Amino acid sequence: MTRLGIIGGGQLARMLAQAAHKLDISTLVLDPKADACAGQVSELIQAEYDDQTALNQLAEQCDVLTYDFENVPAAGLQQLAGHCPVFPGVDILAVAQDRLSEKTLFGELDIAVPEFHAINSRPDLLAALEQTGYPAVLKTRRFGYDGKGQSILRQPEDMEPAWRRFEGHPLILEQFVRYDWECSVIGVRSAEGEIAYYPLARNHHNHGILDYSHAPIPNLDAGLKATAQSYLRRILEKFDYVGVLTLELFVVNGQPYANEIAPRVHNSGHWSIDGTACSQFENHVRACCGLPLGDTRAIGESLMLNWIGDLPDSAPYLKIDGLHWHPYGKQAREGRKVGHATLTAADREVFHAQVRQLAKLHGNPELVEFVTQS
């Protein structure tokens, strides 16, 4: 039996393990927390991510390794790659860990990206703001996700507090994008170079955290879809990528602009568990383990809703036809993703009726507008 090692034991690792077990592939997860939620469905090694002894143990006991978040120390993985295959490769992981490297990559591959500037000093920041103007977004180059490590500079008075907050860290200043809407394109590439794309998902964030996603996007402009997929293909092929890759995009006047990449399965693709024949999680496992890629086509429409902070009582929600419940086995905590629900239907009128039910129960009428505007 093939054994897949997963570095990181959060909900993404949990869903990877669940997908792997369907394929008769066992999993071994490494995470610093004894109560890592992936440990409820997989064997677990409790150790820090830079514990080379534990990493070696993981590599020795597994046939192939992957990871469920970007902030795994790349140097440690590089050492393992000589003894056990690591997918996706460490080279793209290192790029994704640094926002400046990521934005520079987009430019090199002729992928449209908002204006950005490297910031290493206060004079750098002042000069960059002269070019971008206000508003702009000041971010740490490393260790930022779900809205962390960034500050919006809406007016000159915001600059000094943000500089004091981040001083001493390598930074990047990005043009503030007044986008029309957000989306993501997710694709999977096999070791043989086969590429399959999932339908684009329209996304809504709240305080930097994904709130909900809708896929496929009805009446999506064919040119926008082709551009988004071509952007993703350029990255996949440059790195001889294996596994699932996500590219988040801003759409401005019908033109997609790259925001960031995630070299892993992604929150905006959770709908694929219930809304496609082969989910992003299963296809990531298939690609990493050398199995044929599965069908990425959507089965009707899906709306994925994140549960953030606390998990509500499932009973009222499960009365809605077509609703699928996914708890992560996590303790409640402010700002923490503790589960998600996905609503699916093959018929659009039925889907809209179900969304209205969900919106009323959830107390969020914006869900109806979000879906009907897609």
Q: What's the rounded Cα separation, in Å, for the pair 11 and 347?
A: 30
Of 280, 216, 320, 297, the residue nearest 66 (C-alpha): 280
Percent of the chain topping pLDDT 90:
90
For residue 373, what pLDDT is reported? 81
For residue 144, what pLDDT is reported? 61
Q: What's the rounded Cα separation, in Å, for the pair 302 and 371?
A: 10
Task: Examine the pLDDT at 146 and tell me if it is beyond 60.
Answer: no
Report the residue count for the chain. Answer: 374
pLDDT digits (tens, 9 = 90+) for 207-255: 889 999 999 999 999 999 999 999 999 999 999 999 999 999 999 999 9
Q: What's the rounded Cα separation, in Å, for the pair 70 and 246?
A: 12
For the question of whether the overall pTM of this predicted structure is more than 0.85, the answer is yes
CA dihedral 82, 13, 44, 27 (to 10 degrees): -70
Structure tokens at 281: 């999680």
Domains in the chain, CATH or no CATH each: 3-86 (3.40.50.20), 115-175 (3.30.1490.20), 181-373 (3.30.470.20)
Q: Which residues are CB-neighbours of 33 under 8 A, at least 6 positions away?
A: 9, 46
Q: How many CB atoms lie within 10 A of CB 169?
A: 14
Percent of the chain topping pLDDT 70:
99
Task: Examine the pLDDT at 343 and tell me if it is beyond 60.
Answer: yes
Task: Show the CA angle centred on residue 334, arms to residues 329 and 338, nearest 5°.
Answer: 20
For residue 130, what pLDDT is reported? 93
Task: Examine the pLDDT at 272 and tell me if it is beyond 80.
Answer: yes
Structure tokens at 75: 């140097």
Q: What is the mean pLDDT of the chain?
A: 95
Q: What's the rounded Cα separation, in Å, for the pair 305 and 327?
A: 12
pLDDT digits (tens, 9 = 90+) for 161-178: 999 999 888 999 999 999
DSSP state of 10: S
Q: How confident is the model at residue 147 (pLDDT cuts 50, 70, 90)?
A: low
Of 183, 200, 188, 340, the residue nearest 264 (C-alpha): 188
Q: What's the rounded Cα separation, in Å, for the pair 336 and 178?
A: 27
Average of per-residue pLDDT across 148-160? 90
DSSP lists the bridge partners of residue 206 as: 209
pLDDT digits (tens, 9 = 90+) for 185-196: 999 999 999 999
Average of per-residue pLDDT across 262-284? 98
pLDDT digits (tens, 9 = 90+) for 94-120: 999 999 999 999 999 999 999 999 999
Q: What's the rounded Cα separation, in Å, for the pair 46 and 111?
A: 40
Task: Examine the pLDDT at 261 and tell me if it is beyond 60.
Answer: yes
Task: Examine the pLDDT at 148 and tell me if it is beyond 80.
Answer: no
Q: How confident is the model at residue 274 (pLDDT cuts 50, 70, 90)?
A: very high
Query: Residue 251, Cα to own-chain centre: how many angstroms?
Result: 18
